[in-house]
Amino acid sequence: METIVLTGAAGLVGSVLRGPLRAEARRLVLVDREPLTAEAANEEVRQADLSSAEDVAAVIEGADGVVHLAGIPDEAPLPDLLQANVLGAHHVLEAARLTGVRRVVLASSNRLTGLYPATRTVSPQDPVRPDGLYGVSKAAVEALGRLYADKFGLEVVCLRIGSLEPEPTEARHLATWLSPRDCAGFVLAALRHPGVRFAAAYAVSANTRAFWELPDELGYRPVDDAEGYRIEGAESFFTEGTPQGGDFATPGYTLLRGRLPTASA
């Protein structure tokens, strides 16, 4: 690809993708609020907050594809999530419409379905069951992606990103782990696989105990499996009474981070 734009480039996922995307493109534009330094001749750094479609258009014009990761990556007050995640995605999609960028990859999240039980296999065709306000914001992001694909002809891929870690460290990761290698594989496939108008797909490694159906429409099959790592307490997690979101699905997680008032006695 000639030019790829990566927003949220300073974050965890962006840091993992930087090298693989740099190898894929003649020009990689790295965008973040935080200052970054170019590490290769084909990298270009832009410090921006993407607060309007016009601001985004100035950054992405001429790109072959955009990987949009910028936003709040965890539970937070809903107004903050709407501003950063939902409006941020809208600005990117609208800028792509205005500038003629065809392919947009949006960072969605596995927490869109975190209130399904750990014994259930879930596909993108199942109704969303967010495990918190963060998951709600990602449901809205996917709806925006679908709208811009159906109404304006953009090619949009929403990747429901799993637990991106160097290696799994807890029982839930036996199902949700996304290795750095597989993360890059999914994103590259989302950028370049032909014939995609809209797709919502789980990006997760080939874990033996995975909760989610792996996508066929992107042409990438993951290679890593969390099962090879020794994790204590695994059997007690994979029960009917445990939500796929684990601790993320507890009321306290949202009450604290969403700064919601506690109900009166």
- Residues recognised as catalytic: 134
Rounded distance, CA 150 to CA 185, Å? 26
Q: Pick the closest to residue 143 from 72, 200, 97, 189 (CA basis).
A: 200
Instruction: Tell how strand 155-161 and strand 43-47 pair up.
Output: unpaired
Residues 6+ positions from 199 with CB-CB distance below 8 Å: 156, 157, 158, 190, 215, 217, 218
Q: Pick the closest to residue 191 from 46, 68, 41, 8 (CA basis).
A: 68
**Residue 232's CB: how many other CB atoms inside 10 A?**
8
DSSP-assigned letter for residue 252: H
Rounded distance, CA 257 to CA 250, Å? 12
Distances from the Cα of 160 to the Cαs of 91, 114, 139, 196, 264, in angstroms?
20, 11, 10, 16, 36
Q: What are phi and psi of 90, to 5 degrees?
A: -60, -40
**Helix H or strand E encompassing 201:** strand 198-203
